[in-house]
Structure 1
């Protein structure tokens, strides 16, 4: 299911002295089965863009085409019921949205709400809990008796239990330690790979952009500043600096190597790319210092 923005504007508090343009003339496509990272400074429009992906908010002008569903300023809430199941949103600190008395009931809530019987919903919930690494013995526990990382996984399972075609992630690893962050990102990668789910990720972690995404979108002042592969987006250091964006950690290490005499025709962005680029130079006797 493709999602396409066509000349989308969004205005906060329209027709008032406090009216503020949050998005301006957005033209953008997220292809079915793709993995897109959205980056940009705070206030650049990332979160406003995300809320259009399942019509939590509707455009002030233009339209968003989500599969066969067309969302315009005139679209009514009653027309969006099925859309909300097809596009799942995982917000920052999703565990704050847990509310049921047991883990199983919390994850089964969404499929029951979308018409599944209790038995069907529980079966979907159990399958989804196994997918995110939550063991059977935790199903009858209160969600808030779990560790922070387990709560995060249960909350993610609650979104996946809707069996969405698109998964929208708004800083999904916020507050996790490096090991927990990596585990959650690998979980999303496995879901993307095995189930073909489209993933749209908002992140400040540039390493995640180059490690997982096949498309990167840079937002600035409510507009799309650049779209391309991670390699294309991170190719121009001066452009990144002007937009207050960092290179991923491998790119920053490459800069230090360049100061020591190493040469790279193209900026390596992953460890594998760096090893491939540096091995011939080491064989020729290049050295640090």
Structure 2
């Protein structure tokens, strides 16, 4: 499902003395079935933008087009029922939203709420649980008897049970160790591929950005600073430093290698790209010695 922002502004507490501009003149396009990342400093407007994707927030100016749904300042809440089923949001620490007495009931809650029968909702829930790696023997357990990683997977299954066309991920690996983060990001990539979802990820993990994203959006002070493929965004190291953005770990290693005399035609962002440029230079050093 395509998503387009057209000249979108959002003002917190509009028409009051406390009015604060959260978004300004946002023009963006997320193509259906693509993996997108949004990066920027805390307070840059990333989460505010995400909340427009299923109309938790309504623009105070402009319009957001999500599939066939057009959301404007005049849109009423009753018009947004179908949209909120099509856009699944995974916030930080989604396990904190678990509430039912069993795993299966928790995941089946959303499809039941959207009109499915108990049998249909349970079947949808089971498919979602298998997709995230939760075994059948855990379905009758209380969610809070599971491990932290299992709880997070159950919470994500609850979002997937809505069968969304768009998956929005707001720092979904917050609080996880490196192994847990890798498992979770691999899971999201699998889900995106198998269901052909439009994925929009907000993260401070630049390694995840270069590994998964097809388009990167850089935000600053409520506006879009730059958009492009990861190679375009991370090619200008001085520009990144100017805007307090980190390089991925491979890029940081490249900086150290450049100080030792190695040269790179462009900044390699992944290990294979680094090896492709570094190996010929290492061979020359060995040959010279």
Q: Which TM bucket (shorter chain)?
A: over 0.9
Q: Is 1:39 equivalent to 2:74 in the alignment?
A: no
Instruction: Kindly state the Cα deviation for residue 173 of structure 1 after the two structures are TM-superposed.
Output: 0.3
**C-alpha deviations, 1:236-285, integer Å up to 9, x for none?**
11110111001000000111111111110100000111111111111212
- Structure 1 SS opposite 2:274: helix
Once the two structures are superposed, residues 209-228 of structure 1 have per-residue CA deviations (whole angstroms, 9 ceiling, x without a partner) of 00110110000000000000
CA distance in structure 2 between the partners assigned to 1:53 and 1:171 by the alignment:
16
Structure 1 CA distance for aligned equivalents of residues 244 and 214 of structure 2: 22
Q: What does 1:72-91 align with in structure 2 at a 5 Å threshold?
A: 72-91=72-91
The gaps in structure 1 that reach 5 residues or longer are: none
Aligned to 2:243: 243
* Map 1:152-167 → 2, pairs under 5 A: 152-167=152-167
1:263-282 aligned at under 5 Å gives the runs 263-282=263-282
Segments of 5+ residues of structure 2 without an aligned counterpart are none
Q: Distance in 2 between matches of 1:89 and 1:16?
A: 29
Cα deviation, residue 178, structure 1: 0.6
1:65 corresponds in structure 2 to 65
What CA distance in whole angstroms lies between the structure 1 residues aligned with 2:13 and 2:114? 32
Partner residue, 1:199: 199
Q: Which runs of 4+ in 1 moved over 3 A?
A: none
Counterparts of 1:275 and 1:193, CA distance in 2: 27
* Structure 2 Cα separation of the partners of residues 220 and 19 of structure 1: 19
> Counterpart in 2 of 1:120?
120
State the aligned residue count. 287
Q: Secondary structure in 2 aligned to 1:150? A: helix
Q: C-alpha distance in 2, partners of 1:225/1:238? A: 15
Report the secondary structure of 2:285's partner residue.
coil
Match of 2:227 in 1: 227
Please give the alpha-carbon distance, in whole angstroms, between the structure 1 residues aligned to 2:282 and 2:243. Answer: 34
Deviations 1:97-128 (A, max 9, x none): 00000000000000111111100110111111
Q: Aligned equivalents of 1:206 and 1:285: distance in 2?
A: 31
**Secondary structure of the equivalent of 2:164?**
coil
CA distance in 1 between partners of 2:132 and 2:191 (Å): 9
Q: How far, CA to CA, are the matches of 2:269 and 2:286 in structure 1?
A: 20
User: Which residue number corresponds to residue 109 of structure 2?
Assistant: 109
Whether the 8 Å contact between 1:262 and 1:286 is mirrored in structure 2 is no
How many angstroms apart in 2 are the aligned matches of 1:207 and 1:83?
Answer: 31
Post-superposition shift, 1:286?
6.3
Which residue pairs with 2:146 in the alignment? 146
Contact 1:93 1:172 in 2 (8 A): yes
Given the superposition, is the C-alpha separation of residues 151 and 235 from structure 1 closer, same or farther in structure 2, using an over 3 Å criterion?
same
> Which residue of structure 1 lines up, in the alignment, with residue 168 of structure 2?
168
Q: How far apart are residue 16 of structure 1 and its match?
A: 1.0
Question: What is the SS of the residue equivalent to 1:255?
Answer: helix
> Which whole-Å CA distance do the structure 2 matches of 1:272 and 1:191 have between them?
25
TM-score normalized with structure 1 length: 0.98
Q: Is the 8 A contact 1:261 1:286 kept in 2?
A: no
Query: Is residue 130 of structure 2 the alignment partner of residue 136 of structure 1?
Result: no
Kindly state the Cα deviation for residue 151 of structure 1 after the two structures are TM-superposed: 0.3
The TM-score, its normalising length taken from structure 2, stands at 0.98
CA deviations on 1:143-163 (whole Å, 9 max, x unpaired) are 011110000000000000001
